[in-house]
Amino acid sequence: MNDTRYNNRASEWIGDLTVWTRQNAGDNHEQLDRLRRNLRRAREQELTPRQRQILDLYFDQGMTIPQIAGALGVNPSTVSRTLRRAKDRLYRCLRYAL
């Protein structure tokens, strides 16, 4: 027999846990500030000029990969590969920063 009271209580329990987690979660403001500083530094020091340019166009200016390819006169797959390599390099630099 299906006990609907049990199913309703299960969803209430998840809601209670969510509220408790929000109230008791630690503040990660300092970690985020450190990550932002290190990200700026890594973008300046670790990426090639082309990777910085494509990352800027994609994330900071909101252009799509085909738009970037058209603006730079390269194949979209080249933009995609360059973007992937830049993100991988940043990840490797930042994963131990926290």
Which residue type sits at 58?
Answer: Y
Predicted pLDDT at 10: 53
Predicted pLDDT at 53: 96
Is 60 part of any domain?
yes
CB 58 within 8 A of CB 66: no
Query: What pTM did the predictor assign?
Result: 0.66
Predicted pLDDT at 15: 67
Is 43 part of any domain?
yes
Is 14 part of any domain?
no
Domain count for the chain: 1
Predicted pLDDT at 19: 75
CB 92 within 8 A of CB 85: no
How does DSSP classify residue 2?
A: -
Q: Residue 89 is part of a domain; what is its CATH number?
A: 1.10.10.10
CB 57 within 8 A of CB 63: yes
Among 87, 83, 90, 82, residue whose Cα is nearest residue 41? 90
Mean pLDDT by groups of 10 residues along the chain of 98 residues: 52 67 75 86 92 95 96 97 95 80
Which residue type sits at 93?
Answer: C
